[in-house]
């Protein structure tokens, strides 16, 4: 019995494999794209675990997808491989679409032909709700994407439903609101804040000068949860009685980028005052800790997202465990070590 998890070099792929190794007895095949410049091996991820195998897989190559599915014959296929950085998706719309939409078609079609009993999960996103009509968003909220990234995920959602309804496949895409951890990439705003503030804190303590943190839209509001809490919800979504439903996973709370920064400064115990235009100044030295740089603005941003997780709570018995302050503290303390 086996599970394929794609994108193990990303936060969610890694935590999914870890969860499955701890909670199931399946053989886990974790995949990532082949990169000649960076040699990786299974030991980097789960040293000496005989149930974990690392494979190279590029989901944009349908031959590669078909061959891996033929070889592994998985019971579950969990796809976290994606171009997942919203801001970058305007620069690379083709890569975004090819990976996030065409890649999903490649997987669906190979599963249909070679392994039609396999349960398939694709990573969906709150970004699909985009220009929201009401808050909190529930599963009935219309899809109103604002970025090439969000459009690609909406298209994937539609094609998954088509395969589910046409071929009777167990194929679903949950809506995951923002979820963070110590494995979050440093281009995403939460980890950018915690890692930069941690290094500023070290500089303050050693009396050295530092470069300020630079951020874009401080007013953007997000529903930030803990990635490890969400992985449990994904596995529950994959183990429903058939026919399966799709669910929102979210913390059900909403904070702005400004709130996140200020919470992080509190946790770091840095004394600050906020001046006009969101310039944050260190009270002792007068140095600028953080300021706005319009280079980080998006062509079209999603202003606020907050998920209604009632359906997942009731039907999947899923609850997020980590609150906002605990999440910020966990990430900052890891980066400060």
User: Where along the sequence are the contacts to ligand GDD (CB under 6 A)?
Assistant: 84, 86-87, 125-127, 177-178, 187-190, 192, 215-217, 220, 222, 257, 296, 298, 301
Smallest distance, ligand GDD to C-beta of residue 199, A: 15
In the bound state with ligand GDD, the residue whose beta carbon lies nearer, of 287 and 301, is: 301
Q: How far apart are CA 278 and CA 98, in angstroms?
A: 38
Residue among 29, 149, 170, 255 flagged as catalytic? 149
Residue among 31, 96, 125, 194 flagged as catalytic? 125
- For 101, what's the count of Cα atoms within 13 Å in the CB-facing half-sphere? 18
Residue 82 DSSP class: S
In the bound state with ligand GDD, the residue whose beta carbon lies nearer, of 74 and 174, is: 174
In the bound state with ligand GDD, the residue whose beta carbon lies nearer, of 91 and 165, is: 91
Q: Is 125 a catalytic residue?
A: yes
Smallest distance, ligand GDD to C-beta of residue 171, A: 19
Smallest distance, ligand GDD to C-beta of residue 120, A: 18
In the bound state with ligand GDD, the residue whose beta carbon lies nearer, of 110 and 125, is: 125
| 3-class state of residue 305 by DSSP | coil
Q: Is 127 a catalytic residue?
A: yes
Q: Which two tokens stand for residue 44?
A: 């980097």
Residue among 31, 76, 127, 322 flagged as catalytic? 127
Counting beta carbons within 10 angstroms of the beta carbon of residue 266, is it exposed (0 to 12), middle (13 to 18) or buried (19 or more)?
Answer: middle
Q: Which two tokens stand for residue 142?
A: 């219309």
Q: Is 45 a catalytic residue?
A: no
Smallest distance, ligand GDD to C-beta of residue 304, A: 9
Q: Which two tokens stand for residue 114?
A: 């070679």
Residues 6+ apart with CB under 8 A from 82: 7, 10, 99, 100, 103, 123
Closest CA to 56 of 65, 47, 48: 65
Catalytically active residues, by annotation: 125, 127, 149
């Amino acid at each position: 019995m086996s599970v394929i998890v794609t994108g193990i070099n990303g936060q969610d792929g890694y935590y999914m494999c870890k969860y499955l190794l701890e909670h199931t007895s399946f053989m886990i095949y974790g995949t990532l794209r082949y990169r000649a410049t960076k040699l990786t091996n299974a030991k980097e991820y789960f040293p000496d675990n005989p149930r974990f195998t690392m494979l190279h897989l590029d989901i944009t190559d349908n031959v590669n997808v078909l061959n891996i599915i033929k070889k592994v014959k998985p019971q579950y296929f969990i796809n976290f491989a994606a171009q997942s950085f919203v801001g970058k998706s305007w620069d690379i719309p083709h890569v975004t679409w090819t990976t996030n939409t065409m890649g999903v078609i490649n997987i669906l079609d190979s599963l249909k032909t070679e392994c039609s009993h396999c349960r398939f999960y694709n990573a969906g996103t709150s970004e699909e709700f985009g220009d929201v009509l009401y808050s909190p968003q529930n599963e009935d909220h219309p899809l109103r994407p604002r970025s090439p990234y969000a459009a690609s995920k909406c298209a994937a959602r539609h094609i998954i439903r088509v395969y589910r309804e046409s071929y009777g496949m167990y194929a679903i895409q949950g809506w995951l609101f923002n979820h963070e951890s110590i494995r979050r990439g440093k281009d995403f705003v939460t980890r950018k804040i915690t890692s930069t503030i941690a290094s500023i804190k070290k500089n303050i303590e050693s009396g050295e000068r530092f470069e300020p943190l630079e951020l874009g839209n401080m007013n953007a509001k997000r529903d930030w949860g803990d990635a490890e809490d969400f992985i449990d919800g994904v596995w529950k979504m994959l183990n429903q009685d058939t026919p399966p439903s799709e669910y929102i996973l979210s913390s059900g709370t909403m904070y702005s980028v400004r709130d996140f920064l200020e919470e992080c400064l509190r946790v770091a115990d840095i004394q600050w005052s906020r001046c006009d235009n969101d310039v944050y100044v260190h009270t002792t030295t007068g140095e600028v800790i953080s300021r706005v740089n319009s280079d980080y603005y998006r062509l079209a941003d999603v202003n606020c997202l907050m998920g209604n997780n009632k359906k997942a709570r009731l039907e999947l018995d899923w609850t997020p465990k980590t609150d906002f302050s605990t999440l910020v503290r966990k990430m900052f303390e890891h980066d400060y070590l």
